Amino acid sequence: MPEIRAIFWDVGGVLLTNAWDHKERTKALEKFQIDAKDFQSRHELLVSSFERGKITLDEYLERTVFYQARSFTLESFRDYMFSLSHPFPDVLRFAQALSASGKYLMGTINNESRELNYYRMERFGLRKICRLFFSSCFVGLRKPEKDIYRLALETTQIPAESCCFIDDRPLNLECAQQMGIHTIQMQGPPQLQEDLGKLGVVP
């Protein structure tokens, strides 16, 4: 088996909690007492543009939440969105050790809106771990589209068989596998380290 030279990480559900997935949206809707059905119908129409960086966070919120008068401010809602992000410390420490070893090119392949992505990169030190960020908001592509994986391979010029991609969602992994990339489904830190070890990946 070829030596692994690049490791690509999903962010939400792997390195950190999700940024704005169903669980986070539900918490926000309950806290601010927003009608879930109405919000969800608007969210579904906008989420692709939001995660591809075609509209800003403020534009997204103006169309999903603040299309009518509210008793709270856009700033307070946005701050609460940011507060929902938390690290997975054991995974971050292990990823940092892999990065510090200098043996692997480290990058992300993740779906995330621009403002949340920048906040999480800064808040949780992701720039210290990863050199490249193939984030949907930067590249205009979203998992599980094959082109986002193709872009990572063509940009790094590392063959698929020498790359590993870690994600918590099977569909995203299936599409990476079709490109010839080794994949690991994230289930927990011990399992992750064990599965990477089977590929010869150690700090």
Question: Does 69 have pLDDT greater than 90?
Answer: yes
Residues 106 and 186 reside in one and the same domain: yes
Asked, for residue 177, whether it belongs to a domain, the answer is yes
- Give the dihedral sign, CA 51/193/105/15: positive
Residues 45 and 142 reside in one and the same domain: no
Give the CATH number, domain containing residue 119.
3.40.50.1000
**Structural domain span for residue 13:** 6-17+87-198
Cβ-contact 154, 109 below 8 angstroms: no
Domains held by the chain: number: 2
pLDDT more than 90, % of the chain: 99
Give the mean pLDDT of the chain.
98
Task: Give tens-digit pLDDT for 104-125.
Answer: 999 999 999 999 999 999 999 9
Residues 94 and 53 reside in one and the same domain: no
Residues 101 and 78 reside in one and the same domain: no
Question: Does 1 have pLDDT greater than 90?
Answer: no
pLDDT given at position 110: 98
Of 83, 100, 133, the position where a domain reaches its end is 83
Give the CATH number, domain containing residue 50.
1.10.150.240
In the chain, the N- to C-terminal Cα span, in Å, equals: 19
